[in-house]
Amino acid sequence: MVYRRFSIGITLRILGISLAIFLAIWLYLSQGLLLAPAILTFVVLLLAGEMVYYVNSINHKLARFLDSIRFTDFSSSFTSDSKMGGSFREVNKAFNEVMEVFKQTRAEKEEQMLFLQVIIQHINTGIISFNAEGKIGVINNAAKHLLQIPQFRDISDLGKLSVKLLQEIMEMKPGQRISFKVNPGLHLIIQSTSLKMGGQSWTLLSFQNINAELQSNELEAWQNLTKVLRHEIMNSITPISSLVESLRTILDEDSYVQKEGMLIKKDGFQDIQEGLDTIANRSKGLVNFVNAYRDYTNIPIPKKESVPVKSLFENVLGLMKEDLKSKEVSIQTEIMPEDLEVLCDPDQISMILINLIKNASESLQNQADRQIWLKAVGQGDLGTQIMVEDKGPGIVPEALERIFVPFYTTKKTGSGIGLAISRQIMNLHRGSLTVSSDPDRKTIFSLNFR
């Protein structure tokens, strides 16, 4: 409506100017008058000046309005000029209403920003953001308390706390999560996220000290380990102690003193032999248990290198060729892409794959379909996944939660230490070993490399 009135106003002024010019020319040429055309010429100049003022006025208001938006200055107001008519009063009213909406929107955003800043400063997780040049954008109180770095203005200042920590953070990819122990009292979980703000690329880091939680878990782990050790040792010591008492009784009852020495009855002698054999077997079992525990607690640090997955698979299958052949088990391999590589300790990962394939082949002994799938998939920034899949009887849900617990086993023979060692090796690789099983359909063990 405003723009329609503006167009009508311009049209009327142009018509008025045109009519005055035509009338001045007609009076001069037809009637030979001079004064009237002069007056009409003066009127034309007034109308032209008024029209320029009329147009410029709305242009100035538009320019002021756009500048206010551009520079986020919403304090301006637009007043009506009584000379400009009702259409301009409507324009001024519309501008003022729009400015008020912008002002309210800006106030709401400022309130939301303030609220967000208060939340960031009060959460227990440390938050730090920095741009491509390393300049710190946001750092909350939790981060300052955790890191204890004075004058923390650049991400490179993190090197004052730990040069290695700074290096680890600068090498992090968006979405990656790492664990880093700074000192005995500070064990950090750090997660990285990337974002764009104000035309710049920013990295957002979250820090959380899990030292107290680790200490609690460590205490619980020691308690669980003590229970396991006590259980295994008592299972061996109790029968040995009982047998020793029985052997002493046999010696007392079935032995006789003679001049040449001691005489033992045949039945008593056989009982002593059996008892000693039992003691020897239980002692051997206890020694094997201790050796298994030693293996679990003495895994060396991985010597990582970039290894083609194809050569890794070929090496494992070459080592297991005869064993799989004797059990009539076949293996299908699948690598996507074919030139996929993984950063790992090839000897340690080969040991995991051999253990998983061996377990899978043993589970297939009563199956008609004795086939195992060995797969590897590259997932870009998410890392690499290697899977060992079989269609054996699977693992029941109750056992699924415990198969990685040291010394727990569902097999009649075995130490129950293989999967526990395999998971620890993957933890040392900063990866994970997981399992999913659908009983009587399929079981998949996954090695996840980040």
What pLDDT is attached to residue 376?
93
Burial class (CB in 10 A: 0-12, 13-18, 19+), 188: buried
Q: What is the pLDDT along the chain (450 residues), one digit of tens a residue?
A: 444 555 676 777 778 778 878 887 877 777 777 777 787 778 778 877 777 776 666 666 666 666 666 666 656 665 655 444 445 566 666 666 777 777 777 777 777 777 777 777 778 888 889 998 889 888 888 888 888 888 888 998 888 888 898 898 888 888 888 888 888 778 888 899 888 877 788 898 998 888 777 667 666 666 666 666 666 666 667 666 777 777 777 777 766 666 666 667 667 777 777 777 777 776 776 676 666 666 656 677 888 899 999 999 988 888 888 788 888 888 999 999 999 999 998 888 988 898 898 888 888 887 777 889 999 999 887 889 999 998 888 888 777 767 777 666 665 555 566 788 888 888 888 889 888 888 888 899 999 998
**pLDDT tens digit sequence for 179-204:** 888 887 788 888 998 888 777 888 98
Class at the top of the CATH hierarchy for domain 123-209 = alpha beta
- CATH tag, 305-449: 3.30.565.10
Which string of b and e fits 349-382 if b means at least 16 CB within 10 Å? bbbbbbbbbbbbbebbeeeeebebbbbbbbeeee
Residue-level length of the chain: 450
Neighbour count for residue 20 (Cβ, 10 Å): 21
CA dist., res. 294 & res. 292, Å (int) = 5
Strands of 65-162, DSSP E: 126-131, 136-139
Say if CB 37 and CB 25 are below 8 A apart: yes
What pLDDT is attached to residue 2?
46
What pLDDT is attached to residue 80?
52
Which string of b and e fits 388-409 if b means at least 16 CB within 10 Å? bbbbbebbeeeeeeebbebbeb
CA dist., res. 185 & res. 191, Å (int) = 20
Q: What's the angle, vertex CA 150, arms to CA 149 and CA 154, rounded to 5?
A: 75
Say if CB 328 and CB 377 are below 8 A apart: no
**Token pair 């259980």 in the structure block, residue:** 231
Parse the chain into domains and list their residue ranges. 2-112, 123-209, 214-297, 305-449
Return all residues near 326 (Cβ < 8 A) that are at least 6 apart.
none
What tokens does 409 get? 């086993």
Class at the top of the CATH hierarchy for domain 214-297 = mainly alpha
CA-to-CA separations, 369 to 282, 327, 376, 407, in angstroms, rounded? 38, 12, 22, 30
